[in-house]
Homo-oligomer: A and B are copies of this chain.
Amino acid sequence: RRDSEHQGMAKNTNMRWRLPLVCLLWELAMIVLFGVFVRFGAEADAHWEEEKREMNLTSDMENDFYFRYPSFQDVHVMIFVGFGFLMTFLKRYGFGAVGFNFLLAAFGIQWALLMQGWFHSFKDGKILIGVENLINADFCVGSVCIAFGAILGKTSPIQLLVMTLFQVTLFSVNEYILLNLLHVKDAGGSMTIHTFGAYFGLTVTRILYRPNLEQSKDKQGSVYHSDLFAMIGTLYLWMYWPSFNSAISDHGDAQHRSAINTYCSLAACVLTTMAFSSMLQKKGKLDMVHIQNATLAGGVAVGTSAEMMLTPYGSLIVGSISGIVSMLGYVYFTPFLESRLHIQDTCGIHNLHAMPGLIGGIVGAITAAAATEDVYGKEGFIKAFDFTGVYQTRTPSIQGGFQAAGIVVSLLMAFAGGAIVGGILKLPIWGDAAAENCFEDGIYWEVPEDEESDVYHMHNPDKPASP
């Protein structure tokens, strides 16, 4: 059928028993753990009628479902269609891009509901879940999708599932440290999702370095239609990013503000991306890889500060800069990372998530440090940074310091975690493909007969298929 299948014999990539075993065992574990721990939160439980009375709510509209469900669905689309299709740009790895992203995200959200639940929604021995938990689970998995971008085409589905298990766990720990111990704001996850996810993935791909990857160089590019499929992913990520950054912000002005800031930042980012994509190419032609990716940096870079009073022009500035940084990354940094540091970053997540994530963390720290009661209003100030209880005495500049500390913690967690998990993934039991079979769906998927020969067959039924 496909030459690659025969070449693949060198390594045992047959998933027949390993993949089913892992999937079924883990799903079984999920069922048991959900059975022991997970229950509906008050707003999703049939006791809601009584709850409403107790909380003096006059309308079903006050159920958090109506504040967050539309944003949840947008985030959901970003994770499954956005990330999935963004990675279909490779000419012969579309099934793997969409399909493995589907697999790891579907597993990851279950495990994230548990991990994040134990840290944040645990009451009387039970994890109580509602729509906000669903969003957070999607967020957590988002960081795995990002890491997947670095190793795209080079790992087996089992490796992805193993990585997901560990990364979700580490994500939840890191998130707990940031949000609960450091009391940091990071609604859009510049630090927890992007910085952590990207540097984790980059560390993993460094550990899994494949010296002979140029053997599959012919498959590392795109074809015309695969670039259009990837644009579906890009646009859905771009359009719904305002929902991403506002999904778990406080009700009211904070959600509203997050959406506006993100909208502005993303719009600016498109223009600087286009400018630099043309400028850095000899013939001044635009490159789809840049448009597909760097246009999104603006969403990443306001992930921490979007719910703050960043203001629309502040967002334009951040978006503009992040587009430029991301573009410079694609043109100058990625080749350097590969040749010098042996970091093979298939999708360029260093440019789309790592650097813009760092920018996002820094902008967040600065915006927090610069906050004043004048700008936020007295109540708004306290609400925005949750300066209540033990945090009552925190000043903006201290908050800025803690925000900065959050970046450092996320980086350390990513490097340490990525190194350990990369080491585990290097074990020779997971069924990854040989270098010459990377970026090739035929290894793990039943691939239909080639388009061209088929069409030939169909239209010229009398002639033989091969000349």
Contact = CB atoms under 8 A, between A and B. Distances in A.
Contact of A253 (B63, B81, B223, B256): B63
Interface in A1-52: 2-3, 14-21, 23-24, 26-27, 30-31, 34-35, 38-40, 43-50, 52
Report copies per complex.
3
Interface stretch (A175-183, A191-199, A267-275, A339-347): A267-275
Given A35-B313, A320-B31, A459-B3, A223 B448 contact: yes
Contacts of A458: 91-92, 218-219
Closest 5 pairs between A and B when the two form their complex, measured CB to CB = A16-B284, A46-B380, A48-B253, A106-B270, A60-B252
A463 to B, nearest CB: 11
A338 interface: no
Contact of A257 (B44, B67, B221): B44
Given A23-B274, A38-B313, A49 B238 contact: no
A257 B46 contact: yes
B225 A444 contact: no
Interface residues of A, number: 151
Q: What DSSP secondary structure best describes chain A's contact surface?
A: helix
B61 A98 contact: no
Given A31-B316, A59-B59, A80-B238, 6 more contacts: A16-B284, A40-B311, A60-B251, A94-B227, A106-B295, A218-B458
Interface string A289-302: 00100010000000
Interface in A216-248: 218-219, 221-225, 227-229, 231-232, 235-236, 238-240, 242-243
A93 B425 CA distance: 42
